[in-house]
Amino acid sequence: MIVKEEFLSRLRKIFDLNLYEVKVWTALLSRGTSTAGELSNISDVPRSRTYDILESLEKKGFIIMKLGKPIKFVALGPEEVVERVKKNLLVEAKEKSQRLETLKGDDVLNELNSLFTKGVKFVEPSDLSGSIRGRQNLYNHLDMMVRDAEKSITMITTSEGLNRKLEFLLPALEKCKKRGVKIRIAAPIDSNNQKIAKDFKKVAEVRSLSQFKARFIVIDSNQVMFMLLDDEKFHPNYDIGIWINTEFFAQALEQLFDLAWKDMEPVK
């Protein structure tokens, strides 16, 4: 059986399988039912690993074991596999979420917080910086920054970026608004995000930006996150942000923002 490496690579990413798992699975799909030895020969996976791989695939809902001897394995239809994998992921995510939720107030979390707070005492504010890759990771970090805001949030984003931020950041921004945090958002406003801009007006001052294109956020005049790439030209997985804790740079950015803010048109 010959399966292109590109196709195997796609399957690995889609179904979160390792190379041996995807080779054995596609081999079994091509046969319908087969023994571990036959699958080892077809897939070019070491015989010593094949049973472990088949057991893993069975647990994940890709195949079932046929009763009788010799032991054979049966492939499920791809559409059925998709449904089973989706259900398993939901169950697994729920279990992990509940496990993490139980950490609140637990001695484990208290001990971790103790380690962190003691360590922070020896860290210079300027050392609290780093690069963040992948849009999901970027928004996770942005959400953390927004939740910790005490005085002000200043944000410039793109047209599509405004749409994404409503989905990811609105709950945290609403809580900031209740705490009295001053929130300002600037972005190009067009027919695609006019409604989104109006929704943001519930928690922030929103103005239409047309002079230049940028993506950054300043929190409390001391934390900055700025994105290095144009979100229209690069895949979300390759998005990169730089997070820095620097009062000097943060205040400089806010001063530039204030100059541009005066010339921006308020969203009606």
| Secondary structure of the chain as H, E, C letters | CCCCHHHHHHHHHHHCCCHHHHHHHHHHHHHCEEEHHHHHHHHCCCHHHHHHHHHHHHHCCCEEEECCCCCEEEECCHHHHHHHHHHHHHHHHHHHHHHHHCCCCCHHHHHHHHHHHHHHCCCCHHHCCEEEECHHHHHHHHHHHHHCCCCEEEEECCHHHHHHHHHHHHHHHHHHHHCCCEEEEEECCCCCCHHHHHHHCCCCEEEECCCCCCCEEEECCCEEEEECCCCCCCCHHHCEEEEEECHHHHHHHHHHHHHHHHHCEECC
Residues of the chain with confidence (pLDDT) below 50: 123
- Asked whether residue 89 falls in the same domain as residue 133, the answer is no
Q: What is the pTM of this model?
A: 0.59
What is the reported pLDDT for 81?
87
What is the reported pLDDT for 128?
56
What is the reported pLDDT for 95?
86
Domains identified in the chain, total number: 2
| Phi, psi angle pair for 22, to nearest 5° | -70, -30
- Asked whether residue 82 falls in the same domain as residue 203, the answer is no
CATH of the domain at 220: 3.30.870.10
What is the reported pLDDT for 60?
86
- Asked whether residue 146 falls in the same domain as residue 260, the answer is yes
What is the reported pLDDT for 122?
53
- Asked whether residue 78 falls in the same domain as residue 163, the answer is no
- Asked whether residue 87 falls in the same domain as residue 148, the answer is no
What is the reported pLDDT for 67?
72
Domain that residue 158 falls in: 127-266
- Asked whether residue 244 falls in the same domain as residue 140, the answer is yes
Q: At 170, which amino acid appears? A: L
